[in-house]
Each structure stands twice: as C-alpha cells, then as structure tokens.
Structure 1
Amino acid sequence: MTAPVFLVDAAALAAATVGGVVRLDGDEGQHAATVHRLTAGESITLTDGEGRGVHGEVVEVGKGWLDVRVHELVLEPEPALQLVLVQALAKGGRDEQAVEAAVELGVDTVIAWQADRSISRWRGDKAERGVRKWTNVVTSAMKQSRRLRRPTVEFAGSTTDLATRLRTVDAVLLLHEEAEVGIGAARFPQAGTVGVVVGPEGGISPEEVAALAHVGAQPVRLGPHVLRSSTAGPVGLTVLASRTRWTT
C-alpha cells in the first residue's frame, strides 16, 4: 500500500534533508495524527503541492502533530502538456464529481464556468465560497491519488470571461454532441496547454459555441452517446492522456 500524502509548509520542505526531521502540524498534522491515526514507524509522504516532496517515516506523534524522518527527497516534474478542464457549473454535485475524477486523471487546472444554461449560479460571495469548496475537492483528490502537484482552481463568471482566459491556452476542445469531428481526430500540441470544455446539463448555447470558436475552440464529440456533465470531462481527459502521458 502506498504511503498517504499530506501537505506541508513549503518553507519546512525546502529545508528538508535526507536523515533530517520535518514536522507536520496544523490542520494536516491534526488530520494525520487524529483521523488517520498514524503511528511511529509508518510510511508517509509530505509535499508542498508544487511538485516537491519527501518520503519518510513517522518517528514521533503528538497531539495534532507528528515528526517525519526523511528517507528520500522527491520531485514530480511539471508535465510537458498541461491539461485544463473547463467545467460548467451543474446541479446535484455533478460538477464536483467531474472535478474529483479529473484530478485523479492528472488535470493541472480546473476552471469553474458559469455558462448561460447553468442552473447553479455563483454570484457575489457565493463565487468565493464555490472556489474554496472546489479547491477542497481538488486537494482531497490530489492526496488520494498520491500526487505532489495540486491543480489550481479558477472561476469564469461568464462566457466572455472564459473566452478571454482561453486565449492563453494553446488548444481548446469543446465537447459538443453535434460536432462533426471525433475527439480522437482532434488536433493539439504535445507540449503547452490543452483545454477540454464541458457544458451544463442544458447544453452549450449556439452563441457560446460561436464565442468560444472565435478564440480557437475546436468542437469535438465523444462517441455516439450523450454523456452527463459529471462524465464528459473525465472521459475527454482520458482520451488526451492516452495520446500523450500514458503512451509509455
């Protein structure tokens, strides 16, 4: 069984040396000591969420903290191709299900999109709370899948905002049931950034399709069937990963 992963302060990790001790405290230390009930002698991985980490062994446990003897310094390199998921807000927690699975599949950035037909709406303070909630989902999924890099979460409050953001993405695949090209034939670079755009339950409006196509988005379909908003993004990311990251 692989060692559990916990987030630690970047400064503490930067000073870590093989044979040295790193203390895990705060909320993560409380979780490790109280919820996971880790004990001396157990293996553990600590990371700053930016790719740096250490594999080590718990040597002492206190109330809400534990000390870890460092066995190995590790670095998870930044992938040549960055994967971006644009997930329209959806009801019933389907958007969060998509985000959780996307993190397990290796997504690097998640953009919450308030599409025209999104039933769920993030307005005012709700947007800040929504980003915070999705960040918690991302963090949990990142640790569960033993990643050392935590994906970032952003919010696009309108299609105009999203179009502006996607100008910085090298290739954008817009998942659409009426597209003539299948995702397997989509064009995208092997390095840089590629985004997958998933609409809400009611679909992406023609005006949104036009606005996103104007910034270079390629409409593509995922096979012959219509997928739920909780499924489409992870399936699209799986196809991309199978053509890039999972080839060896």
Structure 2
Amino acid sequence: MRDIRVFTNQPLAVDAEVLLEENSTHHLTTVLRLKTGAAIVLFNGTGGEYHAILGQATGKQARVLITGFTETNRESPLYISLGIGLSRGDRMDWVIQKATEVGIAEITPLFTARSEVRLKGDRADKKIQHWRKIAINACEQCYRNIPPIINAPISPDLWSQSLSTDQNFVLHHRSNQTVGELRTQSINCVGLLVGPEGGLTDSEITSSLQSGFQALTIGPRILRTETAPIVAITLLQSLWGDFI
C-alpha cells in the first residue's frame, strides 16, 4: 500500500502535534476518508520525512501527532536548472509536474520572443503559487521530500546571467551534438534552456551560445515544448543523475 504523503510549511519535530492546513485536512478526511489513527507521512521541504498519526479533525483542521523521522534523500545528485519559455494553456502545468517527477531541481519560466503569455502583478503572483502547488503535489505522489524551486518569470538573458552551473545547454534541433557525446564529461550542475511553442528565435539561440551555452539535440524529431524538456532531463539524469 502506498504511503499517504502530505506537505506542510510548518516546522516538524518528533513527538510534536501539528494542525494541518485546510486543504490537506479536506483531502485526508473528505476525499480519502481517513479515520482517526490513520498513518500518514509529512514533509516540509527541509529534507527527510516524518511519520505521523492522524488525530481528530476539528472544523477545517486536523491534528496529527508526529511519531518518527526518516532521513530519506531521494534527490538527484545532478542539479538541473530548467529555463523554459512561457506557453499557453496547461503546458506549463504539465512541464512542472513531470519535470518534478523526473528530478528537476529548479524551474524558471522565461519571457521569450515567441511566448504568447504575459504575466505581471497579481496575476503573476497567483500563477507562481499555482505552479508551486503543482510541484508540491507531484512531490507527494513521487516521494520527493524537497520540492523544486519555482522562480518568477524573467527574460532568458537575466536567467542565463543568474546561473552558477558547470555547463549549460540550449535545445536546438539543428545542432549536431547529441547527449551521447557528453558521456566523457563529469557534471554535477547543469542549466537547460528550452523554448516555448514555436521555439526560440535565431537571435535568442545566438545569444545563448555567446553566453557559453552548448547547442544540444535530443533526436531527429521535433518535440513539443512540453515534451522536449522532460526527454532532455531524463537523458541528462541517465548520464550524471540517478537514472542508472
């Protein structure tokens, strides 16, 4: 039976009692219909996971008693920072969910030339919180205890300037360099640039190459903006991460 895992922003400690947030309480007691005494697992993004017993729900909050701690680390040894052009519809949601599952460490949405989505003010803040919730829900499902960082959208140039990585790659279907040619390198931290639907412009690709990025192809077929980063992350994880 799968563990029932719940993320909380609260400090956690063995033998402590915690009041769960309203949305978590609703999911446990109404959706899953758990009863008092049910075993759950809590995590708060600081590492490891806490074993707990569900207490009685009072109103919109449930009390849980933490009974133990396991210092479990399921994070990849390869730190991947993904910069991806903002896309329409639910494409960004899908990328964030699946990238979290395959071990991404950090995601930065980018305002690229061909991005049709423009976010600012309250709308941007709400979208960022929405994406962070998607990442947290993915961590609950895939057993990660440290959600990836979801940054506010910025330009590709600002993102590339912020990177402190061993090597950076830009996906470019006209490149001749494949992932297989990177096997002899030893990399612990990598940046990955992916365009929106319609791709990056020639000037954006040129700018990234001038900033030290290497062009990288992941095959002869043109993949959608929501498919390409997941395939690329998986391939990089198979070289330097934990997909071995």
The TM-score with structure 1 as length reference comes to: 0.87
Q: What percent identity do the matched residue pairs reach?
A: 26
Q: How many Å separate the matches in 2 of 1:122 and 1:91?
A: 11
Counterpart for residue 161 of structure 1: 158
Contact in 1 for aligned 2:47/2:145 (Cα 8 Å): yes
The amino acid that maps onto 1:62 is: A
Residue 182, structure 1, aligned to residue 183, structure 2 = no
Residue matched to 1:23: 18
* 1:26-80 deviation per Cα after TM superposition (whole angstroms, max 9, x unaligned): 233343233332223433110111213212343x221320323414433426543
CA distance in 1, matches of 2:84, 2:29: 35
Q: Give the structure 1 partner of residue 6 of structure 2.
A: 6
Q: What amino acid sits opposite 2:150 in the alignment? A: V
Q: What's the CA shift string for 1:193-242, capped at 9, x where partnerless?
A: 21221101111111111211122211101111000011001111111111
| 1:247–1:95 Cα change, 3 Å | closer
2:47 aligned to which of 46, 51, 75: 51
- Which SS does the other structure have where 1:38 is aligned? coil
Q: Is the 8 A contact 2:52 2:64 kept in 1?
A: no
In the other structure, the counterpart of 2:147 is: 150
Distance 1:247 1:102, change over 3 A: closer
C-alpha distance in 1 between matches for 2:219 and 2:74: 33
Q: Give 3-state SS (helix, strand or coil) of 1:229's partner.
A: coil
**Cα deviation digits, residues 119-158 of structure 1 (max 9, x gap):** 1222343322221221121111111212110111113422
Alpha carbons of 1:78 and 1:145: their partners in 2 closer, same or farther (altered >3 Å)? Answer: closer
SS in 1 for 2:6: strand
Residues 180-219 of structure 1 mapped to structure 2, 5 A cutoff:
180-186=176-182, 189-191=186-188, 193-219=189-215
Deviations for 1:8-37, whole angstroms, at most 9, x for unmatched residues? 3442x1xx23xx253242233343233332
* Equivalent in the alignment of 2:219: 223
Gap runs ≥5 in structure 1: none
Match of 1:102, SS state, is helix
CA distance in 2, matches of 1:172, 1:156: 19
1:53-202 to structure 2, matched below 5 A, reads 53-58=49-54, 60-63=55-58, 64-76=61-73, 79-166=76-163, 168-186=164-182, 189-191=186-188, 193-202=189-198
Whether contact under 8 Å (2:75, 2:103) holds in the other structure is no
Higher mean C-alpha displacement, 168-177 vs 181-190? 181-190
Runs in 1 of length 4+ with deviation above 6 angstroms?
A: none
SS in 2 for 1:200: coil
CA distance in 1, matches of 2:161, 2:101: 27
Contact 1:171 1:189 in 2 (8 A): no
2:179–2:216 Cα contact (<8 Å) kept: yes
The one-letter code matched in structure 2 to 1:115 is: T
- SS of residue in 1 equivalent to 2:152: strand
Contact 2:75 2:144 in 1 (8 A): no
- Hey, what does 1:233 align to over in structure 2? 229
Aligned-partner Cα distance in 1 for 2:153–2:21: 32
CA RMSD of aligned residues (A): 2.1
Instruction: Name stretches of at least 5 consecutive residues in structure 2 with no aligned partner.
Output: none
Normalising to structure 2: TM-score of the pair?
0.88
Look up the equivalent residue of 1:86 and give its one-letter code: G
